């Protein structure tokens, strides 16, 4: 089958993606299909270029094709574009080239990357509605504090009556927001800048990641996502022929949590000294006993890759279930919070008005 004809079939799989990771995953699957069909790598890259829509990715593949055509190794050429192709990608491609299983490695890479994009999309999608509700709530409360409360407070001034403490506090907050909104924006910007600077330091980043793991409910979800990434990535690397120590060095970069990265670093040192993978992970206390036990069984039985895949699949299912529960709980919680806040403001305004009405009668 010719490259153009095969690409017509591949276009049925095509979906637009603003996420570069998703675009790379899709192009990787298409390239694997072309290579598996027996089309030489340079021709496959040329055919791939004809249908890529992501301009940055197209330019990267164009340079890769030119280097490969000049005799450079595929993995070496990809390594010149680390923004599009991370270390994990390069190492797996290099292992596939060395073992002559490039098309299988590319397929495995596509499966892995699509799975990671899907997982992240589920979490972001689950939090989108609560975030929108929170933004709407802040906007409504801000409008009430800036527009409604000042007009009502003028009525109270005309009657010159003592106000309940909660109404006085509400009017005070409203005056601050209405008169000093610009200062509050500047203060919020300074706080955000200071937090960003602190988090960019090694100590600040470590403390923030440690805090994320301790947050009720969400901390456990963060740990589950990191463990899923760890086991899935390590299984993918080992199945592709990447040596264990190199795979451990790569896999720590997908954890996205410095506390857990430190655990993987310490485990790598222990492995170099002759220990198993499971023991240092167990000593850290950061990995659940079920995970370390399954890894230990996989090491003893020689089925480490399949055991890691089983752990990753189990955690993916658990993440789906937990995200669904959190989504179902967050929506009513946000509604209650918004209703309580709006009701509290209305109560603080209406109660003095009712009292004034009784006084006038």
CATH of residue 212: 1.20.81.30
Q: Could you tell me if residue 105 is inside a domain?
A: no
Same domain flag for 241 and 280: yes
Q: Are 32 and 9 in contact (CB under 8 A)?
A: no
CA atoms of 326 and 330, how far apart (whole Å): 6
Residue 242 confidence (pLDDT) above 50: yes
Same domain, 190 and 272: yes
The reply to whether 47 and 120 lie within a common domain is: no
Which 3 state secondary structure label does DSSP give 351?
A: helix
Q: Are residues 28 and 152 in the same domain?
A: no
pLDDT category of residue 293 using cuts at 50, 70 and 90: very high
**What average pLDDT does the segment 206-210 reach?**
92
Same domain as 255, residue 182:
yes
Please report the pLDDT score of residue 251 as a whole number: 84
pLDDT tens-digit series, residues 86-126 = 887 888 888 888 777 788 888 888 888 887 777 777 777 76
312 is a domain residue:
yes
Domain co-membership, 57 together with 10: yes
> Which of 47, 60, 41 has its CA nearest to residue 100?
41
Please count the CA atoms within 13 angstroms of the CA of 250 that sit on its side-chain side. 22
Q: Tell me which of 85, 104, 136 is where a domain ends.
A: 85
Q: Among residues 30, 64, 85, which one ends one of the domains?
A: 85
Say if 98 falls within a structural domain: no
Same-domain check for residues 20 and 68: yes
Is there a domain that residue 9 lies in?
yes
Domain finish residue from 68, 85, 102: 85
Residue 226 lies in a domain: yes
Q: Are residues 146 and 288 in the same domain?
A: yes
pLDDT tier, 16 (very low <50, low <70, confident <90, very high otherwise)? very low
In which domain, by residue range, is 28 found? 3-85
Q: Is residue 99 part of a domain?
A: no
pLDDT of 170: 80
Q: Are residues 72 and 207 in the same domain?
A: no
202-214 and 258-272 helices cross at what angle (nearest 10)? 100
CB under 8 A, 24+ apart: contacts of 264-270: 264/230
Q: b/e per residue, 96-107, with b = 16+ CB within 10 A?
A: bbeeeebbbbbb
Query: pTM of the entire structure?
Result: 0.71
**Looking at the structure, do residues 70 and 128 belong to the same domain, yes or no?**
no
The number of distinct structural domains making up the chain is: 2
* 260 in a structural domain: yes
- Contact residues for 286 (Cβ-Cβ < 8 A; gap 6+): 213, 223, 259, 260, 263
pLDDT at 346 over 70: yes
56, 172: one domain: no
The verdict on residue 106 lying in a domain is no
| Same domain (yes/no): 167, 277 | yes
């Amino acid at each position: 089958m010719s490259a153009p004809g095969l690409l017509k079939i591949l276009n049925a799989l095509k979906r637009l993606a603003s996420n570069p990771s998703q675009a790379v995953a899709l192009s990787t699957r298409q390239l694997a299909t072309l290579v598996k069909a027996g089309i030489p790598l340079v021709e496959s890259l040329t055919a791939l270029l004809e249908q890529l829509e992501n301009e940055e990715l197209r330019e990267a593949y164009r340079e890769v094709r030119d280097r490969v055509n000049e005799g450079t190794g595929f993995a070496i050429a990809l390594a010149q574009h680390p923004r599009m192709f991370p270390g994990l990608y390069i190492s797996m491609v290099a292992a596939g080239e060395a073992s002559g299983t490039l098309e299988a490695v590319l397929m495995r890479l596509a499966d892995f990357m699509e799975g990671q994009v899907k997982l992240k999309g589920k979490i972001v999608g689950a939090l989108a509605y609560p975030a929108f509700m929170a933004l709407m709530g802040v906007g409504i409360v801000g409008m009430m504090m800036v527009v409604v409360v000042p007009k009502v407070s003028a009525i109270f001034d005309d009657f010159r009556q003592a106000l309940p403490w909660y109404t006085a506090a509400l009017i005070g907050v409203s005056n601050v927001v209405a008169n000093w909104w610009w200062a509050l924006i500047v203060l919020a910007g300074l706080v955000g800048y200071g937090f960003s600077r602190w988090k960019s330091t090694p100590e600040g980043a470590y403390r923030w990641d440690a805090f994320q793991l301790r947050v009720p409910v969400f901390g456990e979800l963060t740990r589950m996502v990191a463990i899923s990434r760890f086991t899935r990535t390590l299984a993918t690397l080992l199945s592709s022929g990447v040596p264990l120590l190199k795979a451990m060095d790569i896999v720590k970069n997908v954890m996205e949590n410095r506390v857990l990265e430190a655990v993987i670093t310490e485990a790598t040192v222990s492995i170099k000294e002759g220990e198993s993978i499971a023991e240092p992970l167990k000593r850290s206390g950061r990995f659940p006993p079920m995970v370390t036990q399954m890894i230990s069984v996989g090491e003893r039985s020689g089925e480490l890759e399949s055991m890691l895949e089983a752990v990753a699949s189990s955690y993916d299912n658990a993440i789906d279930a937990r995200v669904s529960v959190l989504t179902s709980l967050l929506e009513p919680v946000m509604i209650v919070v918004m209703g309580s806040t709006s009701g509290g403001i209305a109560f603080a305004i209406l109660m003095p008005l009712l009292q004034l009405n009784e006084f006038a009668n």
